[in-house]
Homo-oligomer: A and B are copies of this chain.
Amino acid sequence: MIELDDLDRQILRALVRDATQSASALGRRIGLSQPATWRRIKRLEEAGVIRGRQLRVNAEALGFGVTVFLGVKLATKGRVSLEDFERAVSAIPEVQTVEHVLGLYDYRLRIVARNLADFERVLRRRIMTLPGAGQVEANVLLSEERLAGPI
């Protein structure tokens, strides 16, 4: 855990929105020189606050128009079955995210498909045949907004 000042917070918020902007452009906006901005970014990386930079891919542009969040309840859950389930679900190409959670469901999956018919195929032939998969609950994504969070 590390303490941030206002400038650090401004830097993080700006880079969460767009990680391509240069340290000089960012520094100019927040009233800091280019090396000063760069050193702060480096410090945040070394402190583990910045985990990396990730490409945001637009699945729709590739023909995957449907995104579904799937809550999955396992029928049997020992340590082995958790690992088996995770390994098997990670091998499904349509699965974008695997979240192990506590609550009504054991896993939450983010799945993309070309359309709803394609999603039904994934659900029936890939998900429901997973080792240990029990009850599922689906939510179809309509729109999504990513915020900075409490930075």
Contact = CB atoms under 8 A, between A and B. Distances in A.
B59 A50 contact: no
Contact of A19 (B19, B47, B62, B93): B19
A123 interface: no
How many copies of this chain does the complex contain?
2
- Which size bracket describes the interface of A in this complex? 35 or more
A143 B53 CA distance: 19
B58 A48 contact: yes
Interface of A: 1-2, 4, 12, 15-20, 47-59, 61-64, 69, 71, 86, 90, 93-105, 108, 112, 137-151
Lowest 8 CB-CB distances: which A-B pairs, in order? A103-B139, A101-B139, A15-B55, A96-B149, A19-B53, A51-B56, A102-B140, A93-B150
